[in-house]
């Protein structure tokens, strides 16, 4: 007996096969009735098929046009917790703690369990771990002695594909976290060599928006290499500004460098996005804000400033923007006391009683525990579980719809 004959033999006389299970898994008469109408009326089949195709296409093509990476330098989970208690007198009241997708990220370097900012940020923006002190080169590098392989960063992938790019920090613009986005060096301390790569980029036409501290350091360190910064930037079409207020709405490319670490992060982010958004292809922006708590009050205040900037950015950007927060490493801070309704720190200018146990204890050093990753927007669903710092590069690349070479990838592969 053939397969066709066996199939016909098991049907009830006078009845066709029940096809409800072929497309509609609903049980009983409801599923059977809907299935029969589906097969009987061609227009029903056409409409439903179009809906299914459209929904599948939408899911497959859900891509980020823009990615904004917020980086709390030394902003580990203990510091975030302390900042929430300090500001709101309640745990988990920071805006970033309300982002819908969260994960824990390992921060180790290739050569040490406790990373510095150079190795920590290099892993985040290149997808490969490297050694402490090394900027976006492979682990074959030996600090100050030997180069490793150049590792292309997420910013450089964006440049290569014609997106606009920006780096914003209240640290020196050539310091490790910012430098890892746009430069490659076997020694994080080589400020002149690092900034020279803004002027002579490896990919695209280089960073479009630079906002940060260290103006004099940049000018002096590049002068030793024979580079006159202002004229070199001008030749590349980059305006050289000395304050946020000096940034013009007409600027399409700008380097705003200051001799202070104290400026308004929310204002700076607004100005950066205003410029970067002029590119219809999209943009990548990295925002670093110092959260080191060796100066405890200042560190907590800066976490609060960054959190306010993330809140504002989330409200002003559209559904085509992935917002991702993390830290390059944690810091040795612990909440050891305190009560609801009481301040976590003594009033400024006063001291706690000599025998009083401080509510927050700080030792001056990086620590190796996992840090928070929090995200919203297209691609944020990949942020879950336990990650490595290098995984964040792949999450951002997939959000854009690129593989690690910068080529476009299919919707299914992006997941």
Q: Which residue has the higher pLDDT, 67 or 37?
A: 67
Nearest to 17 by CA among 30, 28, 7: 7
**How distant is the alpha carbon of residue 185 from its chain centre?**
22
Say which range, 1-10, 226-235, 290-299, has the weakest mean pLDDT: 1-10
Helix-, strand-, coil-residue percentages of the chain, each rounded to 5: 40, 20, 40
Say which range, 288-297, 336-345, 346-355, 368-377, has the weakest mean pLDDT: 346-355
Tens-digit pLDDT profile for residues 140-184: 999 999 999 999 999 999 999 999 999 999 999 999 999 999 999
Q: Does domain 65-338+359-414 have CATH number 3.40.720.10?
A: yes
Give the phi and the psi of residue 102 in degrees, each rounded to 5.
-135, 155
239 within 8 A of 211, measured Cβ to Cβ: no
Angle separating helix axes 391-400 and 117-126, nearest 10 degrees: 30
Tens-digit pLDDT profile for residues 88-147: 999 999 999 999 999 999 999 999 999 999 999 999 999 999 999 999 999 999 999 999
Nearest to 158 by CA among 36, 322, 281, 263: 281
Give the phi and the psi of residue 242 in degrees, each rounded to 5.
-115, 10
pLDDT at 58: 46
Cα 3 from Cα 269, distance rounded (Å):
67
* Local confidence band at 15 (pLDDT 50, 70, 90 cut-offs): very low
pLDDT at 6: 40
pTM above 0.75, yes or no: yes
Tens-digit pLDDT profile for residues 320-357: 999 999 999 999 999 999 999 999 998 876 665 656 68
149 within 8 A of 138, measured Cβ to Cβ: yes
Tens-digit pLDDT profile for residues 38-89: 556 666 555 655 555 555 544 455 899 999 999 999 999 999 999 999 999 9
Average pLDDT of span 197-221: 96
* Local confidence band at 249 (pLDDT 50, 70, 90 cut-offs): confident
* Local confidence band at 231 (pLDDT 50, 70, 90 cut-offs): very high
Cα 336 from Cα 170, distance rounded (Å):
29
Q: Rounded mean pLDDT of the chain?
A: 87
Show me where the domains of the chain are located: 20-52, 65-338+359-414
Three-point CA angle 292, 133, 199, nearest 5°: 95
Give percent of the chain above pLDDT 70: 80
Q: What contacts 310, CB < 8 A, 6 or more positions away?
A: 70, 95, 96, 323, 325
Tokens 């000395």 correspond to: 242
pLDDT at 366: 96
Handedness of CA 257, 261, 264, 270 (dihedral sign): positive
């Amino acid at each position: 007996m053939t397969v066709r004959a066996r199939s016909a033999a098991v049907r009830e006389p006078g009845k066709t096969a029940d096809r409800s299970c072929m497309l509609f898994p609903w049980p009983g008469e409801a599923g059977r009735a809907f299935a029969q109408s589906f097969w009987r009326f061609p227009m029903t089949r056409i409409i439903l098929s179009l809906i299914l195709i459209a929904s599948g296409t939408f899911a497959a093509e859900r891509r980020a046009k823009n990615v904004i990476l917020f980086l709390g330098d030394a902003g580990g989970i203990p510091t975030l917790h302390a900042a929430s208690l300090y500001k709101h007198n309640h745990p988990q009241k920071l805006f970033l703690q309300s982002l819908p997708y969260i994960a824990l990220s390992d921060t180790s370097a290739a050569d040490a369990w406790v990373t510095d900012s150079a190795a920590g940020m290099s892993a985040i923006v290149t997808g490969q771990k490297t050694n402490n002190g090394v900027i976006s080169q492979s682990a074959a590098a030996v600090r100050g002695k030997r180069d490793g392989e150049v590792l292309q960063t997420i910013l450089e992938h964006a440049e290569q594909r014609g997106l606009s790019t920006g780096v914003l920090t209240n640290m020196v613009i050539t310091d490790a976290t910012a430098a890892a986005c746009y430069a490659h060096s076997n020694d994080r301390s080589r400020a002149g060599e690092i900034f020279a790569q803004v002027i002579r980029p490896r990919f695209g036409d280089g960073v479009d928006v630079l906002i940060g501290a260290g103006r004099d350091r940049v000018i002096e360190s590049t002068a030793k290499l024979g580079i006159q910064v202002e004229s070199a930037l001008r030749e590349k079409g980059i305006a050289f500004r000395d304050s946020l207020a000096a940034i013009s709405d007409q600027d399409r490319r700008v380097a705003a460098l200051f001799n202070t670490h104290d400026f308004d992060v929310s204002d700076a982010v607004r100005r950066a996005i205003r410029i970067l958004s002029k590119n219809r292809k999209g943009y990548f922006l990295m925002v670093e804000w110092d959260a080191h708590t060796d100066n405890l009050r200042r560190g907590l205040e800066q976490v609060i400033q960054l959190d306010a900037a993330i809140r504002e950015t989330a409200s002003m950007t559209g559904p085509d923007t992935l917002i991702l927060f993390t830290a390059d490493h944690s810091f040795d801070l612990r909440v050891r006391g305190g009560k609801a309704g009481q301040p976590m720190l003594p009033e400024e200018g006063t001291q706690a009683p000599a025998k009083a146990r401080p509510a927050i204890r700080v030792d001056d050093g990086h620590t190796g525990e996992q840090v928070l990753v929090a995200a919203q927007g297209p691609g944020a669903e990949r942020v879950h579980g336990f990650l490595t710092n290098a995984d964040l590069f792949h999450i951002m690349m997939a959000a854009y719809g690129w593989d690690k070479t910068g080529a476009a990838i299919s919707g299914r592969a992006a997941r």
